[in-house]
């Protein structure tokens, strides 16, 4: 009874795309913004980095070796939505994934807050740029499974002392809402990391730093919870 499912899943290519949270130093990047072409693709000890991507990929590849999953990390530290768009041909078209998982937004907000802020954050423009990217994905492969992660932030580490933290929270929330809308529009699945970390940082009798050490980047415990949620979402397929 399981045979048809196993055959259909054989050789599925899964692409994890995003910023430093996905990156995890894959390909011996040393935490730099080195492009995929500049990274080491032959050292299999470091090919996936050390983020939730490693945990999710290792689960799929070890538990279902017969399905032939091929996982790729193309997260790059510091990347924004526009950076992903610029990498479309080299990262997405080149790999033609069956499953595309995207997590982006925190650097868009960070760069805005670091600027002069002469105008409000263009959330409508950000959402439209994301929509354009997803249209390209659907054109490339109408059957592509798409997973969209919501960006997140926590009142921990260095962000806990910044003067613009509340504004950052509001902008991240706006981006997350845009992601949820786009998921419905493109028949994609949402991995709601924003809600996940909001729950984790309030539910347990431990400091928020247990989950996110600097307000942006998860700890090992945080990445484990991200991977668990991602895998739960992936299994819906």
Structure tokens at 89: 């041909």
pLDDT band of residue 232 (cuts 50, 70, 90) is very high
Pairing of strands 145-149, 99-103: parallel
Q: Which of 13, 1, 21 is nearest to 154 (CA)?
A: 21
The answer, yes or no, to whether residue 31 has pLDDT greater than 70, is: yes
The answer, yes or no, to whether residue 170 has pLDDT greater than 60, is: yes
Cα distance between residue 118 and residue 146, in whole Å: 35
DSSP 113: H
Percentage of residues in the chain with pLDDT exceeding 70? 95
pLDDT at 129: 98
Tell me the average pLDDT across 81-107. 97
Tell me the average pLDDT across 2-16. 58
pLDDT at 205: 82
pLDDT at 10: 53
Centroid of chain to Cα 102: 4
Tell me the average pLDDT across 25-32. 94
Q: CA torsion 226→227→228→232, rounded to 10°?
A: 100
Q: Which of 146, 136, 70, 144 is nearest to 103 (CA)?
A: 146
Q: Which of 233, 201, 206, 235 is nearest to 218 (CA)?
A: 201
Round the CA-based radius of gyration of the chain to a whole number and report it.
17
Tell me the average pLDDT across 141-146. 96
Tell me the average pLDDT across 208-237. 97
More confident residue, 9 or 56: 56
The answer, yes or no, to whether residue 8 has pLDDT greater than 80, is: no
Are the CB atoms for 112 and 122 separated by under 8 Å? no
Tell me the average pLDDT across 192-205. 94
Q: Across all residues in the chain, what is the average pLDDT?
A: 93
Predicted TM-score (pTM) of the model is 0.93
pLDDT at 4: 33
pLDDT at 83: 97
pLDDT at 231: 98
* H-type alpha helices, the chain: 3-9, 20-23, 52-63, 81-86, 106-114, 123-140, 165-185, 193-203, 220-234
The answer, yes or no, to whether residue 221 has pLDDT greater than 90, is: yes
pLDDT at 2: 30
């Amino acid at each position: 009874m399981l045979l048809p499912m196993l055959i259909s899943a054989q050789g599925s290519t899964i692409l994890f795309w995003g910023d430093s949270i996905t990156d995890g130093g894959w390909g011996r990047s040393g935490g730099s913004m080195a492009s995929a072409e500049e990274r080491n693709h032959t050292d299999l000890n470091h090919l996936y980095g050390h983020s939730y991507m490693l945990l999710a990929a290792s689960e799929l590849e070890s538990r279902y070796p017969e399905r032939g999953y091929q996982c790729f990390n193309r997260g790059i530290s510091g990347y924004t939505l526009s950076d992903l768009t610029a990498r479309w041909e080299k990262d997405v078209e080149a790999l033609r994934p069956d499953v595309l998982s995207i997590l982006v937004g925190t650097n868009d907000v960070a760069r805005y807050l670091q600027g002069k802020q002469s105008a409000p954050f263009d959330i409508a423009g950000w959402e439209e740029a994301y929509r354009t990217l997803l249209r390209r994905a659907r054109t490339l492969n109408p059957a592509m499974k798409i997973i969209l992660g919501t960006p997140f932030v926590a009142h921990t580490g260095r962000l806990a002392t910044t003067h613009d933290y509340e504004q950052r929270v509001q902008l991240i929330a706006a981006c997350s809402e845009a992601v949820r809308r786009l998921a419905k529009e493109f028949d994609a699945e949402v991995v709601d990391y924003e809600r996940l970390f909001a729950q984790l940082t309030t539910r347990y009798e431990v400091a928020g730093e247990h989950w996110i050490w600097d307000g942006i980047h998860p700890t090992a415990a945080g990445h484990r919870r991200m991977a668990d949620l991602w895998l739960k979402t992936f299994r819906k397929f």
